[in-house]
Every structure is written in C-alpha cells, then in structure tokens.
Structure 1
C-alpha cells in the first residue's frame, strides 16, 4: 500500500498489474503482448444500475485514510478535490475554480460558487479550511500528512477564497490538491463521531452520494441530482460495489455477468477475461511500478553493494511471467515512466540513459563477497493477501541464496500487510517488503520526493543531503520542463544507490461487460469520477 506525500504514491498488495502508456507492449522473455487503450468508447445512453467488483472492503471512507485502491475507487465518485486530475493526467480546476501562486510561498484558491453537498448545504470557504486543516491534526493521523509538510498555515482570506501559506516553495502541493489530500467535505459532517464509518458515512459534493454500506458485502452509491458539473452528469442511477476477495471468484463473477466490471484484476484471470464473450479486458495507462523496498538500512542492506547485488541476482522476466501473467515490462527505475505526465517525451530520454537491470549472478556474488555479507540474514515479508506477493518473496529468497545471502520469509496476515506501510512498528524485524506503488499526480516528483530524509514513506530511512537539496530545488521550479530535468537527476541517484529495488511496470486493468462503456481505462479512476461516464453501449 502506501502512504506518502500522497497517498496513492502508494503501494499495494493487490493482484494486478500496472504500467506505462504506449501502444503494443510486451514480447519475448515471458512477457505477453498487450496494448494500451487510453479510454473506452463514450456511453450512448443511461442505465438503471451497475454492479462493480472490489477486491476488498474499505476499512473507512474517511478521505484522510484513503490511500489505496479499494477506498479510492469508491470515493473518486463521491468526494471531490480542490483540483481535478483528468484521465489524460492533466491537472485542472475542481472545487477551486482557480488556483494562483502570487509568490513562491503561497497558493490562493478561489472556491467554486453554487456547489452543494449531498445533504443540500452549500460549499463555503470554511468547509475548505476545515477539510484541509484535518491533515495537520496529529489526532486525526492522516495518511496524507506528508503532502502538507511544507504548510505553515491555512486561512480563509475572502468569502470564497482560501490561502495556503508555505514554509518554503512547494510546486507539488497544488498538484496534490487533486488527490485525497485536497478532498473537501462539509465541516459539519467532519464533526460527527465515526465520520467515514459504515454507520456514519460521508457528505461530499461528487456526482454520486453514499446510499448504503452493507458491512462485509457491498457499498451502494446513488446519483446526486444536484451535482454542479454538467459534463459529468451520471448516466447510471446506482452503482453497487461488491466485495469479492477471492481472485478466482472475482473473475468468475465477471465472466458470468454477476458483476458488470472491475478495475485492478488478478493477472491469473487474464487468459479467461481476454477470451470472454460477454465483455472486454482493457489495459490502460498507469503510473505504477512494482518494487522491493529495503526497509532496514541498519542491517546488511545498509551497504549499497548488497542492495545492488540482490537486484543483479533477480530474474525479472521470470518474475513477470509468474507474478503478472506476462503482462508487464521490466523496470529500470523505482518510479514508473508512466508517472511523468508533466514531461512524457523528455521522460523517454531520461529513462533511456538509465542502465538496464539485467541478471548477473556471478557479478552479484562478487559484490556480496566484497561487502563481507556472505551468510548474512535478511528477512522479507510475505503474505497470502495476493498471489504476486508470495511469488516475488520466493523469487527474492532464491536470488539471495544463490549469491550467498540467507533470506528468510516472514508471513504477515493479509489484514496486517497494509500496516507495513503505515506503522513503523509493524516493520520491526523486516528488511524487505514488496510493494505496488502508484503516483496520483502526473508529476514524478511525487514519488522521488518521498525518498528525502524523514519522509513518512521513506521506509528504510534513506538519507542523502545532496538528494534532499535536489528535491527542494525541484519543488521550487514552476516550469514543468525544468522540474522534470531536476527529477531526472533524482531518478539517477535512486537507481545508482538502489534505494528501492525496481522489478516491473504493469498496465492498469479493466474488464467491462459489453452492455456498458464510457469508463476510463487508466489509473486516473482513483481520483476522477469514473462512474459518471459509465453508461449504455447501445
């Protein structure tokens, strides 16, 4: 999972795939050919109801804790942010009709007028201030607190104006206002005990309102008739999200028509879903990369030679075949190339100059000997939460043992795996953990910024003053091209020092029953009201 400067840089424990954009991908070495489809065809008409699959039940719908796939898939349609990140990974005005930075240490938001919450009350600047300040309250314990680390204060500066004062320049802050960090809720609703829980719910401004939450079974959303944006008027009257935790059962539910669609599908089901006669399997743009994170740099992995050796020993093509059904491409960096929305063309050049991470067991053995690490123990977390976690853990164990490391696997209960990314105590005694990490913004600084000293998601405690200085430099660069060039330097350092060990990138996956169309295929569905576009295909 993840919790970072943003959430959704996050990690996961899911069973799917993620990747970068492009046309046909894949090929030899065990990778199955796949093609990126940027969107589905526009809907032709309304539908009464849609049943959607989620791989797990959200623990809460409180936006402060929405940093993973299943809660955000629901909340993207219910709650809205100051800014909006679109399916083509652009940042545009949302609940803020305008955003301005009159100087490097201020962001001024003009709040959109005439917006109503689901209870009929009107959006005000006071609601915005209350919603944003929650992230700064240690009693709340927001998973998005890192997005606010440069914030000095937030204040109402006009009837419909809010100003954020910064301690230092932070260009990424405004982009993150398109994620859960920028979600706006009614101040009155936030004061209710149990906010975000099944019995209390939420009161936001999105195209859908929370209708009911059947614990352990489903969440039902209903179309909100007072929605402010006519371009996203919902076409489906109700969306029922059902929780199907077993991967095989989820695939069968799609094939039988019991459910109409779902995102982030188990790669083990790709062959059946590709051949389905009642719907289509899509692969969409992604900002996700699968990595192994060294979470303890005080042990053997504190030596960069050991981290490099472990990376060199890995059979990435074999891992892709076993863990992602072949639908993936080997990664060269811990941040996905698909996350470079601010400079996609330049990113190709930056990525091309990185070294290919090829398997070299003999060279890895030599590094282990030079580091004096032969026979040293490394503990990696594994779990039955998703098949790919176990596959990758076993592959790391085999690779480590092949070069002289003693890799032990520590089983973590499925319900506790998420805690590895939110609770430092849960990581005690663990040196490595696998993650599926996605960026919510189109800015690669979102990921590379978390590797600076002291960041919440800098799980291993990596510290490099030169790296920190580059993060600060990038955050002060308003020009996207200049910022991307600085982030490219950060990327090179992260790869050279193997702060995280890259494995592969996968496309976002979507299955849609042939009676429906309109849903975006890419990972933007975690922050964009995807269900509002969903409607009849004929």
Structure 2
C-alpha cells in the first residue's frame, strides 16, 4: 500500500488564504491581538469536565496545568522534581514521605492554602469511590495525614518510586472549604486553584477563559505569566482549526497535519514548530471478548493485524518529524520500558494473510475500527493496511470523549488512539492503563496484572525491571496491543508569539509572551 497525504488540510489552507486576503490586514489583526494581551488557542477535543481529576484527555491536562499546582513540579527542561506547594520533602522509608508546605499561598478566591486542602484532596481522589478518570494514578496511595498546619505525611500502600512524578503531574490540590461548599458539580463549573492563571469562565462544550492570577505565590515554579488573558476554544475538526488560525481568529493550534508545514511557514504572520512527545499511537485488540465473540479473540488474528500494518512507513511518511515505532507498549524513555523483551512484528502482508487463513478466515472478515485520531489520514492508513489483507475495517471516527466512554464500557473490538502517560516517565503510567484490570483492559490477563503490580510496588529497581520486562514479553507475544508510532506534535502559531515546546507534551502558556 502507498501512503498518500490527504487533502482536508489543503482545502482548509485554501480557505484560510482566501479569508486573510491581504497580508497587511493579517498584520493589523495580529498587532491588535497583542495589544489586547489575550492569547487565543484552539483545541479539537472539548473536555467533559475541566477538573483534571475527571477527564483523561491531554487537552484536560493542559488546561488544568495553567490553573492548578501540585505539591511538587517537574522542570520541563531537566525533568528534575522541584518545589511547588511543598518546599521540602523527605522519604522516611520506602512507603512514607513527609512534606513541608509553602506558607503564604493563596487560592484564586483569596483563601489560604493549608495542610487541610492537601489531606482533603489526596484522600478524596485515592478513595475507590472517587470515580476519578484514571484510578491507577492514585491507587498506590493509602492516606495523607496532617502533621501541622503546613505539613503532611503521605502513607503508601506499597513502595512507589515514581510517587513524586505523580504528585508533580497529576495531583493538583483542591481548596477544601470552597469545594465542599459548592459541591463537585459546582466546582467543575467554577473551579479555583493556586496556579498562575485563574479560570474566569467555563463552558465544557465550547470555551474556557483565563486571567492572570496576580496573587500567584512568590517562588512558584511556573512564574508570573507575561500574557494577561487566555481564551481556549474547542472546534470539531482539523480543517476548521486551521482555518481559524489562517484567518487570524486564533494565535495558536497544535497537532496540525504535518503536510501543511511548508505552506503555513510561507505565510509571514505564522510559523510552525515540531517536537517529539511522550505520546504513543496504538491499536487495542479485544482479546478478552468484552465487545462480543469477535475474531479479535483469536491470537492468530491479532498477530495478523500486527503484521498487516507498515508502522515504519506511517511514522516516517505520515507523522514525520522524527517519529519512531516503539517496540514495546510504552514510551522508550520510561523506566522499565524494555524494548528487547518485546516480540517483534514486522510488516509482512503475506504472513498476515497466512495467519488469517490458519485462524479460519481465509476470506477475511468485517469489523468496526473506531478512532479519534487526527489527521484522519492516519486512521485511513490503518484501515487501508487492514483491508489489503482481508480485514474489512469499517472506520468510525469519533470525538475523543465518545470513544473513551465506549472503550470503558467494553464495546470496542478494535480501536485506534494515543496515550501520553500524563507525561510520567515510568512504565507504571502506561501499561496498567491497558493491562491492569481496569475499564480499558481488553486483555484481562491475570499474570500480566500480577507482574505490573509487582513492578509498580517495589523499591528495588532490578525487581521492577524484571517484572516489567516479563509483562512486556507476555503482552507482545499475545498481541494484545500494537504500538504504532511516537507522536510528534506540530504546532502552528502567530509570529508575534514567543512560544517554546517541550518533550513532555505540556504546552506552558504561562511561559509564553508577545514579541
């Protein structure tokens, strides 16, 4: 099969140039926007709940990162853990950490941050009844106790070496008194945190607005933002998103189709930037039969799927920018991601057809392939590869939230998506999501669940590595999950904007400024 670039982005580009008309008009619009000190950004996936604990989407993590802080912060350049709401921490033993909290921190409503807020937040989300979107991020926590007005002690159920990574990236602190007063629903409609921006308006279907929080604490790791306001809007497709940028109605987009880079860079008011991220594109295959007795329950069929797709061609010709094919179901830099332990599946359509015949499907079969992946050409490429060997995939493109909901209900026989591990550089943030027995586990393999629990609960690095390597071996030999490629984020934004990208896939608007 030959991969070809689609024309959706090209149509959008033509429309955008038509709407911008004269370059002088575009320049005046950009200058006017800079004068209003409002950064306008667009995302393609609306989040169902702005509270970071109750959505698992990357967009939700990004939006939350501007407005909330955790106990610690991970430096985006060095990945070193640095102080945030906690100024100091000390490991008492492999299951206990003492934190000293920062004095003088205010929430966005002016109330004081104290140990009560930390205890309330962490004990709430660690409870099995919390209904957080990704329970594995907190299931290792036993409890937090208050040891002083500005000090707490964390107790873990098991040793968790990556504890500080989780606290840095996925454990923002709620204001106890305010959230208890307004309730969970009221908090999602009018949230407050301690971050450098405060949220002034939320419509989860269309828009989130921010204003700089001038009371952000001194010494905060994110610093005082240079830009006063942010308006984040949601659109439904890539063509609309690109048109908005070209029409100067927004200043920043990301994950633009890479085949438009050269065209966008030719415009004097815009620029692009590419940066590989910790996100991995994947296919999940319903080996456990949660969606019914489909062909995916047959090992040889799953192996055929793995041999049918030219992942290297997808990475190099569609994703571009240095994208790679991960050998294991994790991001290569993550602790425990042992590519050498993985069973390899080369691109071999003849082998795929042979395996299908051996499985009892010499004439192939029909199946639904769901995907929220954009650009849609990437999903269409997978569909075409599968069709070429006789797997007649009916592509059903969904919104991100819709596919996540269907996946968690166990309805997807074959699904294409991506996982960014919340940017946590540890296998415990990747593999348990898909093989740990949760709502999105389509393998249901008790031995793998045991190995992942062992790898995530030991303070001994060698024990962790052995457990994760064994889990990777079993997952790949059973073809439960096919990593397709790493993601390379393609950003496009106004030349008036000074913006830097980082490999953890967290755009930091609080670091951006106008030139």
TM over 0.5: yes
- Could you tell me whether the CA contact under 8 Å between 1:283 and 1:522 is conserved in 2? no
Q: Provide closer, same or farther for how the CA distance between residues 534 and 408 of structure 1 changes in structure 2, counting only shifts above 3 A.
A: closer
Distance in 1 (CA, whole Å) between partners of 2:401 and 2:328 is: 29
How big is the alpha-carbon RMSD for the aligned residues of Structure 1 and Structure 2? 3.4
Structure 2 stretches of 5 or more lacking a match? 1-7, 10-33
Secondary structure class of the residue paired with 1:308: helix
1:69 Cα deviation from its structure 2 partner: 2.4
**CA distances 1:287-337 after superposition (whole Å, capped 9, x unpaired):** 111111013423432333321221101133554578647873334233222
Report the TM-score when normalising by structure 2. 0.81
Alignment match, 1:460 = 442
**In structure 1, the residue corresponding to 2:164 is in which secondary structure?**
helix
**CA spacing shift, 1:463–1:233, aligned 2, 3 Å:** same
List runs of 5+ in structure 1 lacking aligned partners.
1-14, 17-44
Could you say what secondary structure the match of 1:476 adopts? coil
Residues in 1 aligned to 2:228 and 2:458: alpha-carbon distance in whole angstroms: 45
- 2:403 counterpart of 1:445: no
Distance 1:203-1:313 versus aligned 2 partners, 3 A rule: same
Which structure has more relative contact order (CA 8 Å, sep 6+)? It is 1
In 1, are the aligned partners of 2:432 and 2:452 still within 8 Å (CA)? Answer: no
Alignment partners' CA distance in 1, 2:71 and 2:366: 44
Could you tell me which residue of structure 2 aligns to residue 260 of structure 1? 251
The structural deviation recorded for 1:64 is: 1.7
| Superposed counterparts of 1:394-413, under 5 Å | 394-405=380-391, 407-409=393-395
Q: For residue 444 of structure 2, give the secondary structure of its aligned residue in structure 1.
A: coil
| 2:181 paired with 1:183 | no
Deviation at 1:263, TM superposition (A): 2.9
The equivalent position to 1:227 in structure 2, one of 216, 219, 233, is 216
Name the counterpart of 1:167: 157
What is the SS of the residue equivalent to 1:525? coil
Q: 1:394-433: per-residue Cα shift (whole Å, max 9, x none)?
A: 5445444544555455565776223134x32xx33x3111
CA 1:354–1:153: 2 relative to 1, 3 Å: closer
Pair 1:63–1:330, CA change in 2 (3 A): closer
2:49 paired with 1:60: yes
Structure 1 residues 107 and 449: CA distance shift in structure 2, 3 A: farther
Whole-angstrom CA distance in 2 between matches of 1:58 and 1:413 = 10
Report 1:118-157 matches (<5 A).
118-137=108-127, 140-157=130-147
1:61-119 superposed Cα distances (whole Å, 9 cap, x missing partner): 12221321222222111011122123233333322223333222223332222211011
| Mapped partners of 1:91, 1:461: distance in 2 | 34
Alignment of 1:325-364 (within 5 A): 328-337=323-332, 339-340=333-334, 350-351=338-339, 357-364=345-352
Aligned mates of 2:438, 2:163 — CA distance in 1? 15
Distance 1:158 1:297, change over 3 A: same
After TM superposition, the score normalised by the length of structure 1 is 0.78
Counterparts of 1:296 and 1:334, CA distance in 2: 16
Is 1:328–1:505's contact at 8 Å kept on the other side of the alignment? yes
Structure 1 stretch displaced more, 96-105 or 195-204: 195-204
SS at 1:70's partner residue?
helix
Higher helix share: 2
Relative to structure 1, the CA distance from residue 215 to residue 164 in structure 2 (aligned partners, 3 Å threshold; closer, same or farther) is closer
Q: Where do residues 104-115 of structure 1 align in structure 2 (5 Å cutoff)?
A: 104-115=94-105
Partner of 1:206: 195
CA gap of 1:374–1:94, structure 2 versus 1, over 3 A, is farther
Is the alpha carbon distance of 1:183 and 1:286 closer, same or farther for their aligned partners in structure 2, counting shifts above 3 Å? same
Aligned length: 476
CA shift at 1:202, angstroms? 0.7
CA contact 1:50–1:236 (8 Å) conserved in 2: yes
Cα drift, residue 188 of structure 1:
1.7
Equivalence for 1:78: 67
Q: Name the stretch that deviates more: 52-61 or 285-294.
A: 52-61
> Matched residues in 2 for 1:531 and 1:138: separation?
34
Task: Report SS of the residue matched to 1:211.
Answer: strand
Checking the alignment, whether the CA contact within 8 Å between 1:96 and 1:109 is kept in structure 2 is yes
Gap change, CA 1:133 and 1:379, over 3 Å in 2:
farther
| Counterpart contact for 2:81–2:168, Cα < 8 Å | yes
Number of the residue aligned with 2:484: 503
2:505, 2:384 → 1: CA distance? 36
Correspondence list, 1:235-314, <5 A: 235-267=226-258, 269-298=260-289, 299=293, 300-314=295-309
Q: Distance in 1 between matches of 2:128 and 2:466?
A: 35
In our comparison, the structure showing a higher alpha carbon Rg is: 2
1:47–1:536 contact (8 Å) kept in structure 2: no
**Residues 373 and 416 in structure 2, CA contact (< 8 A), matched pair in contact too:** no
Instruction: Report if the CA contact (8 A) 2:432-2:449 is conserved.
Output: no
For residues 54 and 456 of structure 2, what CA distance do their matches in structure 1 show? 27
Match of 2:404 in 1: 418
Structure 1 match to 2:417: 435
